[in-house]
A and B are shown apart, each in its own frame.
Chain A
Amino acid sequence: MSTHLATGPTRPTTPGELLRLDGVAMHYGKGETSVSALSGIDLTVSRGELVAIMGASGSGKSTLLTIAGGLTQPTSGEVVIEGQWLSDLPSAQIAILRRRTLGFVFQDFNLIPTLTALENVTLPLELDGWPHRKTRPAGLDALAAVGLKDRAQRFPDDLSGGQQQRVAIARAIVGTRRLILADEPTGALDSATGEGVLRMIRDRVDAGAGGILVTHDARHAAWADRIVFLRDGRIVDENVRDRPESLLAGRCTA
């Protein structure tokens, strides 16, 4: 769907790949006073894959997410979203690509209070010029995917925190969007509700989306397929969930 966006030469990409960062670095300031926020970041997210980014405060987690989402341009390195090299695109095209392919989920939900749940979810489609008769079913599909179809006409204030975050997840996957970029999505929720939200992100990823989950909480990171550790703007380690067998002898969970 995004081929018409390309203004540069077509370049190869791996099948199933949603996002790739190649040698991404971010520096603030110049010369001797320059501060490095990120350096040498290589990262790929494919369909069906959830990657957690862990690290202490100031390790570069959130900067990495804004670069991955095309909100911030890195000092050097390449960002490739669904086969599109961002460096090939003018900023207006990046905005369109962002709107069509990825959705952000933040700690404080970021829903518009004067719009219903459904209107919040369909907003990116409206901005993209979808006809109204198509946005509604797409929005309801997305709400159904997070178990909130019956709350479509509610306003955010009438929804619980967990439900609001599920609306935000629906907005992140509506229409053609397949990449969820979540920054501490459970930070404002109690433990059990937060787990429900993570389960929902996990479900959407298992259904074919991809996601990055920024968190400092190990219990949340554990929902990911891969856990990447950042320290001082560098990836220092990577954990892959590679053991399918259960630790627990007692119960079959297949």
Chain B
Amino acid sequence: MSVRQSLLAILDQGPCYGYQLRTEFDRRTGSIWPLNVGQIYNTLDRLERDGLVATGDTDDHGHVYYQITDAGHTEVASWLGSPVVRSAAARDELAIKLAIAVTLPGVDISAVIQVQRSGSLRTLQDLTKTKNASGDPESAGDLAWQLVIDSLIFAAEAEVRWLDHSEATLARASAAGVMAPMPLTLEPPKRGRPVRAAAKNDAQVAGSR
């Protein structure tokens, strides 16, 4: 989660002290990902180290205000102007579970899928009920919260669609007879370079001489 850029974007509106930043972050993200004060100060320390914020005045209550620098301002503009890139290979617990399950003898994969679909739909029902109970947004804060809950709703929906798709794919694979589970390989895995690849490399090296 881009706490760092979010705090910086808030500081771009004017100097804030730590606890104030926490409140501002909360009310701008629907209080769905509460931050603790420790996280805030750790982030501010790093922002200061990187020259993106500077420590400013201290008020009568002892609040230390942080102020954005020119470099910080540029960083905010660049964050808002560029896409969030998700790592394609980020580990997905559910994808791994299904991938492993499909290789295991004696596992009813359609039951695994149905249990998951049921669970994902329950999440979706809860989110929908929560959203429905909140009515139409009446402020920017409401709107922010709605954007966040919609993102959770669409993510849950995507999960269910992927399960539906997987189920159909597996049914076709099963009909085509290519869904045999994988027993454990009895041969110990080879150490070092695979022989075939090694021979090929040697041949290439020999050929290039």
* Residues of chain A whose beta carbon lies under 8 Å from any beta carbon of chain B: 56, 199, 202, 216-219, 221-224, 227, 229, 236-237, 239, 241, 243, 246-251, 253-254
Contacts of B114 in A (CB 8 A): 229, 236-237
* A-B contact list, 30 entries, CB within 8 Å: A216-B164, A218-B120, A218-B124, A218-B160, A218-B161, A219-B153, A219-B157, A222-B121, A222-B127, A222-B153, A222-B156, A227-B121, A229-B117, A241-B122, A241-B125, A243-B126, A246-B126, A246-B129, A246-B130, A247-B123, A247-B126, A248-B149, A250-B26, A250-B30, A250-B31, A250-B32, A251-B32, A251-B130, A251-B145, A253-B134
Which of A216, A219, A248, A250 is B124 in contact with, Cβ under 8 Å?
A219
**Whole-angstrom CA separation of A249 from B34 in the bound complex:** 9
**Whole-angstrom CA separation of A229 from B122 in the bound complex:** 13
Which of B127, B133, B160, B168 is A254 in contact with, Cβ under 8 Å?
B133
**Whole-angstrom CA separation of A75 from B153 in the bound complex:** 39
**Whole-angstrom CA separation of A12 from B121 in the bound complex:** 34
The answer to whether A243 and B122 have CB atoms under 8 Å apart is: yes
Given contacts A251-B145, A253-B133, 4 further A-B contacts (CB under 8 A): A237-B117, A246-B126, A250-B31, A253-B130
The answer to whether A221 and B121 have CB atoms under 8 Å apart is: yes
**Whole-angstrom CA separation of A216 from B165 in the bound complex:** 12
Minimum Cβ distance to chain B for residue A127 (Å): 34
Q: How many A-B residue pairs have CB under 8 A?
A: 82
Given contacts A239-B125, A246-B126, A253-B130, is CB(A218)–CB(B32) below 8 Å? no
The answer to whether A199 and B132 have CB atoms under 8 Å apart is: yes
Minimum Cβ distance to chain A for residue B178 (Å): 21
| Interface members, chain B 102-134 (any A CB < 8 Å) | 114, 117-118, 120-130, 132-134
Contacts of B130 in A (CB 8 A): 246-248, 251, 253
Contacts of B127 in A (CB 8 A): 222, 247-248
Question: What are the 6 A-B residue pairs with the smallest beta carbon separation, nearest first?
Answer: A250-B31, A218-B160, A222-B124, A222-B128, A253-B133, A219-B157
**Whole-angstrom CA separation of A217 from B128 in the bound complex:** 13
**Whole-angstrom CA separation of A175 from B31 in the bound complex:** 44
| Interface members, chain B 125-167 (any A CB < 8 Å) | 125-130, 132-134, 145, 149, 153-154, 156-157, 160-161, 164, 167
Given contacts A218-B157, A236-B114, A247-B126, is CB(A223)–CB(B132) below 8 Å? yes
Contacts of A254 in B (CB 8 A): 133
Minimum Cβ distance to chain B for residue A240 (Å): 9
Contacts of A246 in B (CB 8 A): 126, 129-130
Which of B26, B118, B145, B168 is A237 in contact with, Cβ under 8 Å?
B118
**Whole-angstrom CA separation of A237 from B160 in the bound complex:** 15
Contacts of B160 in A (CB 8 A): 218
Q: Which residue on chain A has the smallest CB distance to residue B158?
A: A218
Contacts of A217 in B (CB 8 A): 157
Minimum Cβ distance to chain A for residue B194 (Å): 42
Minimum Cβ distance to chain B for residue A245 (Å): 8
Minimum Cβ distance to chain B for residue A135 (Å): 32
Which of A56, A224, A236, A248 is B164 in contact with, Cβ under 8 Å?
A56
**Whole-angstrom CA separation of A229 from B124 in the bound complex:** 15
Q: Which residue on chain B has the smallest CB distance to residue A54?
A: B121
**Whole-angstrom CA separation of A246 from B32 in the bound complex:** 12
**Whole-angstrom CA separation of A221 from B168 in the bound complex:** 19
